[in-house]
Structure 1
Amino acid sequence: MIKVDPGKCLGCLSCSNVCPNQNIVLLQSADTRTVHWKKCKEECDLCVEFCPAKALALVAYDELVPESEISFELVACRVCGSRYATLPMLMKVEASLPAGMQEDASGLEWIRICSQCRRDIEAEKAAGQVMKERKRISP
């Protein structure tokens, strides 16, 4: 059975992604992510091994212990406002990056921007560079 330390869980879903029996379920709304750990009798420890926060442990199965569930409010993208990640996830990533890598030259904090906005911004920058190069080369 899976025991969860709610103080360590990031809500990253690494455990859910590797559970072969789908005993870890994601419930998500527009602004909240809930991770629900069903009672399982498996002795597989993939979820424990893949948890980046070491928030999971295998314990003996106990019918009296309730299933675990943790909810996280999702953080809004600073560009488009869509909610995309949990605060503990972002803090873990920020803590692992050197300060100089957390912002680009224009001051954008990449970790606080959703992946779609990051792609759009980079595509726009790349297109701008290509256009400058074409203007420079053309007669």
Structure 2
Amino acid sequence: MKKYLIYLGLFAVVGIGLVYYYTQRDSRNDIKYRKAEESISALALFEAFEEDEEGALEKFLGKTVLVSGEIHSLDLTPEKATIVLDTGDPLSTIVCEMNHNLQSDFGMLSEGQSVEVKGECSGKLMDIILVNCILIN
């Protein structure tokens, strides 16, 4: 009977640990393992939002997107890194807020460099916003 209680207690502890892990883990870090639902150039993404913003929101909002384009500007601080991709329109760009938990070496980047960024589309204000991004190349 004592052995049975020990096994039952051990099983309960492992079960509670698994439930805690799957409900409390940091979902921002899983972007690295998520498959991109859309792969598109910065210019094509910009044009999709310009032509039909509602349709583009329906297609891209909340989805993991792989965007390729040239770096327009960089904002690198110890707290956060933001890569801005050029769209060809001086009034609208694609702002990629980078995930510092997965990547921290942005010093090798420069304006005009071609990059691929994977992130979650959170919509468009003046600019198209991608959050929780990582560099692919």
> What TM-score do the two structures reach when normalised by structure 1?
0.22
Q: Which one has the bigger strand percentage? A: 2
